[in-house]
Amino acid sequence: MSDHPTAPASAQEAAPERGPAPASESVAESAEVRRFWEGLGLPGLVDVHTHFMPERVLRKVWAYFDALGPLTGGVEWPITYRQEESERARLLREFGVRAFTAMLYPHKPGMARWLNGWAVDFARRTPDCLHTATLFPEPDAEAQVREAVEAGARVFKAHVQVGAYDPADPLLDGAWGVLAEAGVPVVVHCGSGPAPGKHTGPEPIARVLARHPRLRLIVAHLGMPEYEDFLDLAARYEEVRLDTTMAFTDFTERMVPFPRRALPRLADLGDRILLGTDFPNIPYPYVHQLHALERLGLGQAWLRAVCHDNGARLFGLGASGESSAS
């Protein structure tokens, strides 16, 4: 949800970077997050939807939200964690997040390769971040994706809303094929929230799955607002998963509430629901996402699977958070 192109220059200038939270505030928040997962008997959290990207790009992202850009739905959206990169990574570790991602995405041709180059370096210096890459429909998309997989990418991000492209574009067909063959998951923002795009909604990505049924697709934000349509896709394709990013929070429930009639389906798909938060680009504390999941009343086994075990299994995490293959 917290994704978009660049902001007007005036808005960029009006988006000062926030310093670290007061030590007492940070410690209290970390303790609350840890109490949550310790109470479930977990070794920590696995968060498949967090944003790290080149700092000048991220500042433009924040400025876009400050300016109430159209892709945010025009909703006031204060960024809670506007710290610099190392402080944000440190905070996730304090929360007990064993593995997280660097969800980065292009909005024009030629940008994906540059972002993927940055992501290689970020993964090297941030071992608890799952090496993340991205893609865009351009003539060498398949080659770029293959290069990223060979460089060690463990998860991809595709953003249909911001990129304003059809995921079934023939320029991407080879790229999807590479990812399906390699078994590398792809987190895809393809729902129409918070603002619809020309190619958002379930139909375009369903065309991709029809051609690549083994693609490990993770639908961001549970596909909001088309929640039930994306649950249908998950029921049809066993490699389709959904992440919880911003779903069920007070902020989102006011705009696009999850239909309570669909909760039994969410429970039944408990082995394919993954924790996502959108950290740092969220307008509330991190722990609120966890409490929002807890108050669904789907039970501790469901929470354990969603908040840790499903992600740990998907990415082959060992007891320390490292890949079991390493």
Provide the residue-wise pLDDT of the chain in tens; the chain has 326 residues.
554 554 333 333 333 444 455 566 789 999 999 999 999 999 999 999 999 999 999 999 999 999 988 989 889 999 999 999 999 999 999 999 999 999 999 999 999 999 999 999 999 999 999 999 999 999 999 999 999 999 999 999 999 999 999 999 999 999 999 999 999 999 999 999 999 999 999 999 999 999 999 999 999 999 999 999 999 999 999 999 999 999 999 999 999 999 999 999 999 999 999 999 999 999 999 999 999 999 999 999 999 999 999 999 999 997 544 554 43
pLDDT tens readout for residues 98-121 = 999 999 999 999 999 999 999 999
Task: Let me know if 326 is exposed, middle or buried by CB neighbors in 10 A (0-12, 13-18, 19+).
Answer: exposed
pLDDT at 21: 58
Spatial CA neighbour of 3 closest among 281, 299, 267: 281
Q: What does the alpha-carbon distance between residue 261 and residue 45 come to, in Å, rounded to a whole number?
A: 28
pLDDT at 25: 79
Q: What does the alpha-carbon distance between residue 69 and residue 73 come to, in Å, rounded to a whole number?
A: 7
Q: What does the alpha-carbon distance between residue 89 and residue 104 come to, in Å, rounded to a whole number?
A: 15
Give the amino acid at 205: I
Helix extents (H) in the chain: 9-13, 23-39, 55-66, 85-95, 111-125, 141-150, 160-163, 170-182, 202-211, 227-236, 250-253, 263-268, 286-294, 300-304, 310-314
Q: Give this prediction's pTM.
A: 0.92
φ, ψ at 240 (rounded to 5°): -85, 130
Instruction: Give CA 6 to chain center in angstroms.
Output: 19
Provide the token pair at 209. 């799955």
Assess contact for 85 and 18: CB atoms under 8 A: no
Task: Let me know if 290 is exposed, middle or buried by CB neighbors in 10 A (0-12, 13-18, 19+).
Answer: buried
